[in-house]
C-alpha cells in the first residue's frame, strides 16, 4: 500500500486565490512527521511546512498552512493568495517514528500552475 | 538557514565511465544523509541512507556495487555511479538533517546525470 498518496497530478489556480493540495498517508506508528516540499523547475527541494503527529494545532508558515486531520490521515497543504512564483511541483512526505534521522517517504507530487 | 551544497549540478558522461557526486553540509554537521533519485515528472525515490563512518543502508532494488556511497566525514557524502549506462540517466538529489533543527531535511540542488 502507498504510504503517501497525492491524488492530484496537476492543479490550476488563479493568481491571488487560495488552493488546497491533497495528501493522505498511511502508518501504524503513533509518532510521525509530515512535510511539504516545493520543487521548482530548477529541481531543488524547498522545505515549506512541518506537522508532527502530536501537534495539537495545524502548522502555519506565512502563506502556507497544513490542514491536519489525524482521524482521516490527511495533511492537505493550503496556499493562500497564490502567486505566479508558486507554480511548481509540490511533494508531501512522511517520516515514521520519533527519530528525526529516519528517512522520508514521498508522495507522487502535484504540479501546481498559477494562472495570471 | 542550513545549506547543503551538491556538486556537480549537471554532468554528461560516456557509457562505461564512473561519475562522482558530492553532497556537503556547509554550516552544520550531518550524521545522516540521504540520496534520492528522481525520474522526469516523478516523485523522489530513496536510494540509500548514508551514515557517517559506517556503511550505507540501501533500499531494496538499489545495487550497492553500482551506486557507491561514502560518508567519510560529518559534512561530506559522495555518490559514485560506477560504469554508468544510459538507464542511469536521472536527477540525483541528496539531503541532510540539521541535528539542531532536526525536523527539517535540507536538500542539495540536485545533479542531472546524462549518460550517452
Q: Which of B11, B37, B47, B103 to mutate to test the interface with A (most CBs of A within 10 A)?
A: B103
CA distance linking residue B14 with residue B27, whole number of Å = 34
| Mutation target among B32, B41, B44, B107 for the A interface, most CBs of A within 10 A | B44
CA–CA distance, A54 with B9 (Å, rounded to integer)? 38
Cell (9 digits) for B38: 528522481
Residue A99's pLDDT band (boundaries 50, 70, 90)? low
* Interface contact flag, B91 A43, Cβ < 8 Å: yes
A92 chain-B contacts, CB cut-off 8 A:
none
Contact indicator for B9, B109 with CB cutoff of 8 Å: yes
pLDDT given at position B32: 85
Minimum-distance CB partner of B44 among A42, A47, A91: A91
Residue pair B6/B110 in contact (Cβ under 8 Å)? The answer is: yes
Of B52, B39, B35, nearest to B107 by C-alpha is B35
Q: Which band of pLDDT confidence, cut at 50, 70 and 90, is reported for residue A45?
A: confident
pLDDT at A101: 60
Q: Which residue has the cell 482521516?
A: A72
Say whether B49 and A103 touch across the interface (CB within 8 A): yes
Q: Which residues of A touch B45 (CB under 8 A)?
A: 106
Quickly tell me which residue has 550517452 as its cell.
B116
Q: How far apart are CA A3 and CA B34, in angstroms?
A: 18
pLDDT surpassing 70 at residue B46: yes
Q: What is the pLDDT at residue B7?
A: 94
Positive or negative torsion for Cα B31, B93, A4, B58: negative
CA torsion sign for B48, B55, A100, B30 is negative
Helix (H, G, I), strand (E, B) or coil at B10: strand
- Is the pLDDT at B101 greater than 60, yes or no? no
pLDDT in tens, B68-81: 999 888 899 999 99
User: Taking CB atoms and an 8 Å cutoff, what residues of chain B touch A105?
Assistant: 46
| pLDDT number for residue A116 | 95
Amino acid at each position: 500500500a502507498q504510504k503517501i498518496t497525492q491524488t492530484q497530478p496537476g492543479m490550476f489556480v488563479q493568481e491571488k486565490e487560495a488552493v488546497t493540495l491533497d495528501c493522505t498517508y498511511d502508518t501504524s506508528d503513533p509518532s510521525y512527521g509530515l512535510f511539504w516540499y516545493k520543487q521548482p523547475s530548477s529541481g531543488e527541494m524547498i522545505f515549506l511546512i512541518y506537522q508532527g503527529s502530536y501537534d495539537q494545532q495545524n502548522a502555519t508558515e506565512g502563506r502556507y498552512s497544513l490542514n491536519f486531520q489525524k482521524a482521516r490521515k490527511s495533511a492537505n497543504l493550503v496556499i493562500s493568495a497564490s502567486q505566479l512564483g508558486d507554480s511548481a511541483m509540490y511533494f508531501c512526505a512522511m517520516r515514521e517514528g520519533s527519530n528525526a534521522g529516519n528517512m522520508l517517504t514521498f508522495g507522487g507530487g502535484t504540479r501546481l500552475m498559477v494562472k495570471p | 538557514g542550513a545549506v547543503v551544497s551538491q556538486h556537480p549540478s549537471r554532468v554528461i558522461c560516456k557509457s562505461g565511465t564512473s561519475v562522482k557526486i558530492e553532497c556537503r553540509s556547509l554550516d552544520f554537521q550531518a550524521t545522516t544523509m540521504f540520496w534520492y533519485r528522481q525520474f522526469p515528472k516523478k516523485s523522489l525515490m530513496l536510494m540509500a541512507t548514508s551514515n557517517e563512518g559506517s556503511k550505507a543502508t540501501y533500499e531494496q532494488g538499489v545495487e550497492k556495487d553500482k551506486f557507491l556511497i561514502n560518508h567519510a566525514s560529518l559534512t561530506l557524502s559522495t555518490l559514485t555511479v560506477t560504469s554508468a549506462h544510459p538507464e542511469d540517466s536521472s536527477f540525483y538529489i541528496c539531503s541532510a538533517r540539521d541535528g539542531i533543527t532536526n525536523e527539517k531535511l535540507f536538500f542539495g540542488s540536485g545533479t542531472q546525470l546524462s549518460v550517452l
